[in-house]
Amino acid sequence: MLGRNGHGMGNLMQTFSPVGLLSLLAVIDQFSNTEGILYDTNRAINSGRIAFTDAFYALIAEDILTNNPDITGFMTECDSYHHVLRICDELKRRRPALHVVLGGPHASAVASDTMQRFPQIDSIFVGEAEESFRTYIDALLNGKEPGAKGVHVRRDGHPWYSGPEELISSLDMLPVPAYAKYSPADKEEIFLEVGRGCPFSCSFCSTAPFWRRRHRTKSPERIIAELRFLLNLYGNRRFHFTHDLFTANRAWVSDVCAAISQSGIEVEWTCSARTDTVDRKLLASMRAAGCTAIYFGLESGSRNVLRQIGKDITFDESLAVLATCLEIGIRPNCGFIVGLPEDSEMSIQDTFAAYERCLRSGSKPVHIFGFCPFRDAKSFAMLKNPVFDGHFLDIPLPTRQQERNRRLIGSSFGIFGGLWRNRVKGVQRIWMDELKGIDEFSPLVESALLPTLMLAEVVGGMGRIYGEWVKWLSTRANLRSSIFGCAYYGSEDQYFSFLTELAERSGSASLPIVDFVRLLRIARTCAGDKSSFLSIENYRSFRDGRATHRGHRHTTQRSADESCEGAIILNCVRLRHDVTSWLNAEKPEECAPLVPTDCTVGFFTYGFDEIRYGCFPCELEPIFHILKGRRCDRTEILALIYDLFNLSAEVGTHRYWADAQISKLTTAGLLSKKQENRERFE
């Protein structure tokens, strides 16, 4: 991902509990005479063991081989398939006898083409693989000819497919995934698989074909048992109930919610749904059982496009469901797609308008992505003019490796089509160029949501905001991302600069927005680069979007362990309007009009990962600059006040004024009242 300066950040790879791999490991451990080991590439990168150098793939291969495996298998998705293939190549170079296996959504879709072209791959499992993988491994390790169904293998040096495997009749028959082999990060949301498959047939989606459009579920009793197991293993966590469409069977959902409520287990959980598969009664039942957020794929703001893609739900109907969720206490998360084969310039504008309405409704997060051509989706065959221009966000490897990867991806639309672009008929080239940067736009909007929505009202909507952002970025070559092939992506820091300039151009009425952006920018800088990570993490784990700002808002709450010492000063900013009241608003209409009032806002912390702020008279600003990075001491600050303002302790009015300033700092939380009381007693 991009850091504040537009450079790649190599230590923020997303980690998550890979429930598919953990399920395979559980089957291996239970039914075969071998032991499975989970290797987490992202965690190896975050730890510093794997660096983003020209030796990146070689380092991963060598790290994997330290486990001395006989068989190595990879879960695959379209956006990282090129990385997997290159790691496999390095593995085979170092250990030719190693058996390399692929599985998961993308390898399943491109299995035949992959086996034909990439000799480093020994076999590919298609679709559900618990039964076939166990059978295959037992045969392989015992020197027998693998007879498993659902697998592409090599016979006499040529690819051969064994035919489809039957789906498991009851998911309750599967062992509990091998969660003990996975160590989650602090506060990480845990994925708990409650079912598989979606019965619908949206044209852009490859999930339903992967599970053969069969909707299956685990029993409520099995889900409760897994919840108890995970709570005992990991402690109190929030869970994501992994199912492609959790609410397809309303009776089952009601039974699950009743089982959770009756079990006495108190957990928070999230899930995915369609807006036409829920109603108020079901949502209320889900909330009572601990559901805190639901992801809804709304896809488009155009009724015509929604009909064509097989998701004939009007946006107004969906918006009503989002409102119901918010009333009940469930945070709706929403997703949109632009650049669909069915899209036009008008429908894209409609989608931006719908995106904005969701943001204003209080739904968080709301993301908008470019169309991804999945191989197994119906829409893949509809693409008439696919192009690969090398523009997509990837891990920040050296340029030579990036160029090699892009040559690989550009060599086959069939295998790597998910990273190609569809040239939408009737859409001007400039629009298609602008849409290249859409995938990373939503996290930027989230980082400065309220000022973005305020400016959208001024300039004519979120579509206009996005267009102005891409134009701003394209005219500043020195600010454009230094990562190869990401010219239309910008960093959070650059987005704040853009908003500031746009507000300044928009007239005097927008000047408070300028101060608001400046305040948010300093606040997020105080939080460090971790705030950028939290922003992305919010998208992955359905966290409340306001969490990225909440860390900067608390001013009155005190930690129970707070010492008698003062706070550590982090930074400050001088403003022409006191916009601190806006920090607690959720929607633009909650931000009261402001009159010009010069002030200084200071940021500080007591070291408990909680950043606080206070609004102070401008004359106290030098104190923040002098003591930046240091812990405050009442005696030292009092001496500074006397020195900065040429005061004398012998003059009563001077002492009164200085004590008044100390009182302001104490009231704002910069100095501890305990410290003040102690010094007065002494």
Per-domain boundaries in the chain: 19-161, 184-385+423-527, 553-681
Q: In 9-144, at which residue ranges do the beta strands (DSSP E only) sit?
A: 71-75, 99-103, 123-125
- For residue 475, the model assigns a pLDDT of 80
Residue 231 and residue 227: Cα distance in Å, rounded?
6
Q: In 339-424, at which residue ranges do the beta strands (DSSP E only) sit?
A: 366-370, 386-387, 421-422
Residue for token pair 């928070």:
268
Class for domain 19-161, per CATH? alpha beta
For residue 481, the number of C-alpha atoms closer than 13 Å in the C-beta half-sphere is: 26
Q: What angle do CA 539, 541, 543 make, to 5 degrees?
A: 75
Residue 281 and residue 345: Cα distance in Å, rounded?
38
Cβ contacts of 142 within 8 Å, gap of 6 or more: none
CA 45, 48, 50, 53 torsion: positive or negative?
Answer: positive
Q: Does residue 13 contact residue 158 with C-beta atoms inside 8 Å?
A: no
Q: Which of 360, 279, 350, 276 is nearest to 318 (CA)?
A: 276
Encoded amino acid at 155, one letter: R
Cβ contacts of 150 within 8 Å, gap of 6 or more: 125, 126, 127, 128, 129, 132, 162, 163, 164, 165
User: Domain 184-385+423-527 carries which CATH code?
Assistant: 3.80.30.20
Strands 99-103 and 123-125 turn out to be parallel
The segments of the chain whose pLDDT lies below 50 read 1-6, 479-482, 529-564, 675-682
- For residue 10, the model assigns a pLDDT of 52
Residue 389 and residue 383: Cα distance in Å, rounded?
16
Give the strands of the sheet with 568-575, arranged side by side.
Answer: 568-575, 599-605, 611-616
In sequence order, which ranges of 460-592 are alpha helices (DSSP H)? Answer: 462-474, 492-505, 511-527, 530-541, 547-550
SS3 at position 261 = helix
- For residue 483, the model assigns a pLDDT of 53
Burial profile 642-672: b = 16 or more Cβ within 10 angstroms, e = fewer = eeeeebeeeeeebeeebeebbebbbebbbbb
Residue for token pair 């609410």:
247
Cβ contacts of 572 within 8 Å, gap of 6 or more: 522, 600, 601, 602, 603, 621, 624, 625, 628
Give the strands of the sheet with 268-273, arranged side by side.
Answer: 190-193, 238-242, 268-273, 291-299, 331-338, 366-370
Q: Which of 330, 600, 359, 372 is nearest to 457 (CA)?
A: 359
Quick check: pTM over 0.75?
yes
Residue 273 and residue 277: Cα distance in Å, rounded?
7
Q: Does residue 216 contact residue 263 with C-beta atoms inside 8 Å?
A: no
- For residue 559, the model assigns a pLDDT of 37
> How crowded is residue 90: how many other Cβ atoms within 10 Å of its Cβ?
20
SS3 at position 367 = strand
Q: Does residue 189 contact residue 238 with C-beta atoms inside 8 Å?
A: yes
The DSSP letter of residue 151 is E
Backbone angles phi, psi at 10, to 5 degrees: -100, 5
